[in-house]
Structure 1
Amino acid sequence: MSEVQLIRSMKGLTVLVTGAGSGMGRATAQVFAAEGANVAVTDLPGTPIEDIAAELRARGLSAQAWPLDVSDADAIKAVVNDVAVHFGSLDSVVNNAGISAFCPIDDDDAYEGIWNRAVTILLTAHQRIIRAALPHLRKSAAPRIVNIASTEALGATSRDSPYAAAKAGVTGLTRALAVELGREGITVNCICPGPIRTGMTANVPEGDKETYAHRRTALRRYGLPEEVAHMTLSLCLPAASFLTGVTIPVDGGLMARNA
């Protein structure tokens, strides 16, 4: 490994970010673009991905939008290929797209549907995107995969078994693929965000946020999407070449705190 390869720059490298229309995904696209990466901004049709990409281009940065429903296997293959063709490479994949999936285990009317949707979007989509990206990642000098899970994969909340199970599956997928792909120099890591100010937490009253953060986190506050995005960036740098198979909580010390 030469010193030239061990650089802390994303300039000229291409990253695909799912769920980039809001929250952590949007922040991730912005952070990577600001660091010189070519950014594929993907999210559901109807989300403001075109505006996000246009805003980045207006700042002289490299970004393009692709509508993508990650529950659609054929769409994943088409978009991943289009991204690699458009930018001439694909070096990093950030599996960020997600949904909330809470339901009591004994809700016979809703549980099965919520479970299936959670597994499809939060877990199955990850492996589909990785599989579609592999031919392109194998051509990269700095191939990186980052899967976004949740601290709910490490310690659950009542009535969130579909979400917690799917997110725990992401941590297992990360370890397994890190081992399988390591011989090719492809790193696979996982981030578990804790309480972050995103669309999923927007409806939580501020007072409840403050109480929860004070009781549960070491830093006594909710995190910002950008704080997660910067950890994601760190894992995708060419210099991050000997870190793989890890799950990193970005949670303000939530998992570290007993009392």
Structure 2
Amino acid sequence: MSKTYLITGATSPLGLALMERLLPTLAEGDLILAQGCGDLARLASLCQARPGFIRPYDADFTQPLAVRAFLSDLVDTYPAPTHIIHLPGLRPIQTAYAYFDEERFADDRAVQLDSALLLCKTFLPRMAQAGSGRVLFLTGGVPAAQMASTAIVKSSLEGLARSLAAEYASSGVTVNCIAPGPLLTEDTAGDPAAVHPEEVVPAMLFLLSEDAARINGVTLPIGGGSALR
């Protein structure tokens, strides 16, 4: 059976690292549907490496209508995803709670949580009808001080994953989360808990595989992530 990977936030360092590992394993008929926002040039080298296997989409997840248009096009054009990997998010910014930015929080919630709600409502029933599927969310570890906005959204995603995992368990669909420590960037270079995106990918590939068919509703810590729940 052909595999269709829907990767949102595909242009992030973690999304790119995942696709680098996925691409060599794809067979004829397999696809990666890769969503980014204004930064699809980051996919150019991967698209050139295996032409035809990646279908890039530019969609601004802060805009609900853009999310709906994106999902509508996927439904009209491609088979239902067999694997959903949901990685989008605004860049985390440490801010004292006294200066909590409601507008930025609303945007980050739209990008990460609201889009996940629509995505899962669109595709999980189709996965269940097919009798199998893998869904993977990026959540987070123990929240740092002055990161209330990120903590709220990530905790909500984890709650959504647990609820969906329980609802769809009998249908052959698994819904899990990965919770790495802070990913290595220029901002986190001095953080001993920072994790290279490449170090996260093996755990993602495992949870997306058939070997993980009996693992459902878990949050898997990686590096500086939180304890397994």
TM-score per shorter chain, which class?
A: 0.7 to 0.9
Say which SS state the counterpart of residue 130 (structure 2) adopts: coil
Quick one: structure 1 residues 185 and 114, their matched pair in 2 at CA, closer, same or farther if it must change by over 3 Å? same
Per the alignment, residue 161 of structure 1 pairs with 148
Per the alignment, residue 69 of structure 1 pairs with 60
Q: Give the whole-Å Cα distance in 1 for the aligned partners of 2:2 and 2:198.
A: 21
Q: Give the whole-Å Cα distance in 1 for the aligned partners of 2:210 and 2:77.
A: 22
Per the alignment, residue 203 of structure 1 pairs with 187
**Which amino acid letter does the alignment assign opposite residue 33 of structure 2?**
A
Quick one: structure 1 residues 254 and 172, their matched pair in 2 at CA, closer, same or farther if it must change by over 3 Å? closer
Per the alignment, residue 22 of structure 1 pairs with 12
User: What TM-score does the superposition give when structure 2 sets the normalisation length?
Assistant: 0.85
Specify which of 186, 196, 201 is matched with residue 229 of structure 1. Answer: 201
Work out the number of aligned pairs and report it: 223
TM-fit CA distance, 1:192: 0.6
TM-fit CA distance, 1:244: 0.5
Matching of residue 102 in structure 1 with residue 70 in structure 2: no
Q: Give the whole-Å Cα distance in 1 for the aligned partners of 2:207 and 2:131.
A: 15
Determine what percentage of the aligned residue pairs are the same residue.
22
User: What TM-score does the superposition give when structure 1 sets the normalisation length?
Assistant: 0.76
Paired residues of 1:38 and 1:87 also in contact (CA < 8 A) = no
Q: Give the whole-Å Cα distance in 1 for the aligned partners of 2:186 and 2:48.
A: 24
Q: Give the whole-Å Cα distance in 2 for the aligned partners of 1:85 and 1:30.
A: 27
TM-fit CA distance, 1:17: 0.6
TM-fit CA distance, 1:69: 1.7
1:192-223 deviation digits (Å, cap 9, x = unpaired): 111322xxx3234x4xx2xx31xxx5xxxx42
Specify which of 31, 54, 58 is matched with residue 21 of structure 2. Answer: 31
Quick one: structure 1 residues 139 and 48, their matched pair in 2 at CA, closer, same or farther if it must change by over 3 Å? farther
**Which amino acid letter does the alignment assign opposite residue 176 of structure 1?**
S
TM-fit CA distance, 1:87: 4.4
Say which SS state the counterpart of residue 117 (structure 1) adopts: helix
Paired residues of 1:41 and 1:64 also in contact (CA < 8 A) = yes
Say which SS state the counterpart of residue 40 (structure 2) adopts: coil
Larger Rg: 1
Unaligned ranges ≥5, structure 1? 1-10
Specify which of 178, 183, 194 is matched with residue 181 of structure 2. Answer: 194
Q: Give the whole-Å Cα distance in 2 for the aligned partners of 1:121 and 1:69.
A: 8
Specify which of 38, 50, 58 is matched with residue 57 of structure 1. Answer: 50
Quick one: structure 1 residues 183 and 163, their matched pair in 2 at CA, closer, same or farther if it must change by over 3 Å? same
Paired residues of 2:33 and 2:55 also in contact (CA < 8 A) = yes
Say which SS state the counterpart of residue 212 (structure 2) adopts: coil
**Which amino acid letter does the alignment assign opposite residue 75 of structure 1?**
A
Specify which of 123, 126, 132 is matched with residue 116 of structure 2. Answer: 126
Unaligned ranges ≥5, structure 2? none
Say which SS state the counterpart of residue 94 (structure 1) adopts: strand
Say which SS state the counterpart of residue 234 (structure 1) adopts: helix
